[in-house]
Amino acid sequence: MESVNIKKLAQLLNLSIATVSKALRDSYDISQETKDKVLALAKELNYQPNPHASFLRKQNSKTIAVIIPEIANNYFTLAINGIESVAQEKGYHVIIYLSHEDFHREVAFTKLLHTGRVDGVLISVSSTTTDYTHLHQLQDKGLPIVFFDRVCEHFNTVKVTTDDYQSAYLAASHLIEQGCKRIAHLAISQSLSIGSKRAKGYLQALQDNGITPAASLLIECTNDDEQDVKLIRDLLEQQQPDGIFAAIERYAIAGYELCDLLGLNIPGDVKIISFSNLQTASLLNPSLSTITQPAFEMGREAASMLLKKLEKKNFQLPDESIVIQSKLIARKSTMK
Amino acid sequence: MESVNIKKLAQLLNLSIATVSKALRDSYDISQETKDKVLALAKELNYQPNPHASFLRKQNSKTIAVIIPEIANNYFTLAINGIESVAQEKGYHVIIYLSHEDFHREVAFTKLLHTGRVDGVLISVSSTTTDYTHLHQLQDKGLPIVFFDRVCEHFNTVKVTTDDYQSAYLAASHLIEQGCKRIAHLAISQSLSIGSKRAKGYLQALQDNGITPAASLLIECTNDDEQDVKLIRDLLEQQQPDGIFAAIERYAIAGYELCDLLGLNIPGDVKIISFSNLQTASLLNPSLSTITQPAFEMGREAASMLLKKLEKKNFQLPDESIVIQSKLIARKSTMK
DNA sequence: ATGAAAGCGCTAACAA
DNA sequence: TTGTTAGCGCTTTCAT
């Protein structure tokens, strides 16, 4: 790779390397004339500063890491869109790491970030993460971290979430309003912030409406499709719920498939509502009632905070949650 | 960021920097004893080599760029999964760039890659890209480029595609078999490789079955949802096709929504089949017949070739197409 | 207004 | 077997 570097520009212009460097950053002790010459040549040769060399001096890489559990997931792709929109605007590069819901991979990734590869980290933790020392170690090294969606509550930084408790409460309440009595919750790992909040919202809604929650109706699903199918099938067959509130889209999809298989009518036999960012929710058979998360905005907000920290020397990431509301959209799957 | 570097290790161990460096890469002229000491301390302090400093010497960043038009798209997320699986296995980092179907952004990204930020590029070009000089310039600098899905036919490198022509031919043939006479094609930009191939396959299938293709039934859709809706609506209302073959998922979704709106029955009034990697194709109302692309495998294959080139000094990327077949899955939307 | 030179962390050629 | 040193491309302080 024979690239154009400052040295070459300097040679061609009969200037010193230092002068060229300063001209490129528009330093005020370089004459306009020289600047013009330098800029013109730089443009002509498509000069790009070497980011690695810059890093060594400036200690910044203009790169951020995004660590997420998976990517074939509408929530996360929309969040990435939000993140990328901010990154592109500010000239940052985005490295994507997929933990595949595996704590050990997540730890391995963070280890790779200990030395300058990125300037900051956006993370939504894996469902098997219960220990956050790998992230604390990163933070101790001075790397800013911002959480989104699946956050660590007791971490001194910004955490961008949606109103999981409230939305779950509304989802369960909606099922009750539509006449459901035996409402099941397909929960995601209770060690996740979103898992416990959504479950709590569900439980509270039942209680507030005089329904005693049954342990047999609160199913903690997994990351394994096959196992989830078994769990949900058992639920449908043995517990005969008349309402299902799915904590994530994947569980709702499995629910649809199983109802199909078992000959259960939605919403006649069982009504379903789910946290979901599915574009085709309204085209499903029947259309799926959803709690739609502000995925793009969450990504955007998380990235904005991180980049603000990176760009403004006096700005510290506050220890606070930024909550952006979800929307409940009732469709046919919860119709009376 | 006060990180552990080689200097610090050397000081703590009373060794020279060079010795430590060699011990870390397991050089054979360092004693086992020294190696053990070095490795132990490195592990204890969680030493990570600074990638930027390494780059300056070794001219490799262990990073690849993935440039794609968009990410909220099942094909691309699956492809990224494939790419990431290879990258993770080989210890490479993946930077994602989203061109949002905009040629100028694509060019801007490639400009940023001219100086060592990445070792190689995987790209699926934007639908507004007709000029490939930005990519030739990159290649001229010695950066290996591998295309996938939306390729540039006349580019001297590996191009990973699916059998677009053949699959389109099959899709159109399938509609004919199901009794369709007036078959429309919702085409994607004809300047894209996939756009023209899919259209050609469609046209050939009609001709081979004694149907004269009508220009009014070949609609080139756009990147703008609103405009597409108008185009498809006009098609449905004015041309009354009894079959639609959509080149990409998004057009089929729009078709579903419009049939709903216009009171057209699928598959009674109009049958629909689409290139699509939608997970919920079978849950739509009615379930959608698809040509499902081997997205994961395509990403995996493209990344494998690129990394092979990066890792093996004597391997040159051949000027060839690697074609992985798609599968036609007939569902209710094309039922007789 | 311009240039010389040090140094960021690392590797590798060469010396000891 | 270990150490010294030059240099990757850049920024920045300090001369000139």
Which two structure tokens, joined as six digits, stand for A126?
Answer: 């894996």
Amino acid at B299: G
Rounded CA-CA distance A42/A19 in Å is: 13
Strands (E), chain A: 63-68, 93-98, 120-123, 145-148, 158-162, 183-187, 218-220, 243-246, 271-275, 289-292, 320-324, 327-329
What stretch of H or E contains B65? strand B63-68
Domain ranges of chain B: 6-48, 60-162+295-325, 164-292+328-334
Is the CB of residue A270 less than 8 Å from the CB of residue A264?
A: yes
Rounded CA-CA distance A254/A250 in Å is: 6
Cβ within 8 Å, pair B48-A111? yes
Cβ within 8 Å, pair A71-B77? yes
- How far A88 CA sits from the closest chain B CA (Å)? 9
Cβ within 8 Å, pair B48-A142? no
| pLDDT computed for residue B31 by the predictor | 87
The average confidence (pLDDT) of chain B is: 96
Q: Residues B297-300: contacts with CB within 8 Å, 24+ apart?
A: B297/B82, B297/B324, B298/B79, B298/B82, B298/B148, B298/B149, B298/B160, B298/B161, B298/B162, B298/B324, B299/B78, B299/B79, B299/B80, B299/B81, B299/B82, B299/B83, B299/B84, B299/B122, B299/B148, B300/B82, B300/B83, B300/B85, B300/B86
| pLDDT computed for residue B295 by the predictor | 98
Which two structure tokens, joined as six digits, stand for B329?
Answer: 């899955």
Which of A55, A74, A283 shows the shortest C-beta gap to B284? A283
Amino acid at B204: Q
Is the CB of residue B100 less than 8 Å from the CB of residue B148?
A: no
Of B257, B327, B192, the closest CA to residue A279 belongs to: B257
Rounded CA-CA distance A334/A64 in Å is: 41
What CATH code is assigned to A164-292+328-334?
3.40.50.2300
Between the CA of A58 and the C1' of D3, what is the distance in angstroms? 30
Of B83, B63, B87, the closest CA to residue B297 belongs to: B83
Model confidence at A2, in pLDDT bands (50, 70, 90)?
low
* Share of residues in chain A with pLDDT > 90 (%): 94
Cβ within 8 Å, pair B52-A49? no
Residue B3 above 80 pLDDT? no
Average pLDDT over residues B319-332: 98
Closest nucleotide to A18: CA versus each C1' = C3
| pLDDT computed for residue B2 by the predictor | 64
3-state secondary structure (DSSP) of residue B272: strand
Rounded CA-CA distance A157/B219 in Å is: 51
Closest nucleotide to A22: CA versus each C1' = D11
Report pTM.
0.96
pLDDT (tens digit per residue) in B239-276: 999 999 999 999 999 999 999 999 999 999 999 999 99
| pLDDT computed for residue A3 by the predictor | 78
Of B73, B121, B71, B10, the closest CA to residue B279 belongs to: B73
Residue B49 above 80 pLDDT? yes
Is the CB of residue B164 less than 8 Å from the CB of residue B198?
A: yes
Given CATH 3.40.50.2300, say whether it is the number of domain B60-162+295-325.
Answer: yes
3-state secondary structure (DSSP) of residue A231: helix
Residue B135 above 60 pLDDT? yes
Strand pairing category for B145-148 and B120-123:
parallel
Task: Please report residues of B whose CB lies closer than 8 A to that of A1.
Answer: 59, 116, 141-143
Of B143, B102, B140, the closest CA to residue B122 belongs to: B143
Residue nearest to nucleotide D9 (CA to C1'): A53
Identify which has the larger pLDDT, B151 or A2.
B151
Cβ within 8 Å, pair A52-B77? no
Between the alpha carbon of residue A56 and those of residues A52, A94, B56, B161, B209, the distances in Å are 6, 19, 9, 40, 65
- How far A213 CA sits from the closest chain B CA (Å)? 30
Cα B119 to chain centroid, rounded: 18
Cβ within 8 Å, pair B116-A51? yes
Residue A254 above 80 pLDDT? yes
Is the CB of residue A93 less than 8 Å from the CB of residue A123?
A: no
Model confidence at A138, in pLDDT bands (50, 70, 90)?
very high
Which of A5, A72, A257 shows the shortest C-beta gap to B77? A72
Per CATH, A60-162+295-325 and A164-292+328-334 having the same topology is answered: yes
Residue B117 above 70 pLDDT? yes
Q: What is the 3-state secondary structure (H, E, C) of B119-147?
A: CEEEECCCCCCCCCHHHHHHHHCCCCEEE
Residue A1 above 60 pLDDT? no
Apex A5 CA angle, A2 and A11, nearest 5? 105
3-state secondary structure (DSSP) of residue B271: strand
User: CB of residue A28 closer than 7 A to nucleic acid strand C?
Assistant: yes
Model confidence at B313, in pLDDT bands (50, 70, 90)?
confident
Model confidence at B30, in pLDDT bands (50, 70, 90)?
confident
Residue B1 above 60 pLDDT? no
Residue nearest to nucleotide C5 (CA to C1'): A18
DSSP notation for A20-89: HHHHHTT-TTS-HHHHHHHHHHHHHTT----HHHHHHHH---SEEEEEES-SSSHHHHHHHHHHHHHHHH
3-state secondary structure (DSSP) of residue B63: strand
DSSP notation for A137-158: HHHHTT--EEEESS--TTSSSE
Length of chain B measured in residues: 336
Task: Please report residues of A whose CB lies closer than 8 A to that of B4.
Answer: 115
Average pLDDT over residues A55-65: 94
Rounded CA-CA distance A185/A216 in Å is: 10
Average pLDDT over residues B66-76: 97
Rounded CA-CA distance A61/B209 in Å is: 59
CB-contacted nucleotides of strand D (7 Å)? 1-5, 7-13
User: CB of residue A17 closer than 7 A to nucleic acid strand C?
Assistant: yes
Longest dimension (CA), chain B: 85
Model confidence at B282, in pLDDT bands (50, 70, 90)?
very high
Amino acid at B134: H
Residue B213 CB coordination number (10 Å): 17
pLDDT (tens digit per residue) in A289-326: 999 999 999 999 999 999 999 999 889 999 999 999 99
pLDDT (tens digit per residue) in A90-109: 999 999 999 999 999 999 99
pLDDT (tens digit per residue) in B174-205: 999 999 999 999 999 999 999 999 999 999 99
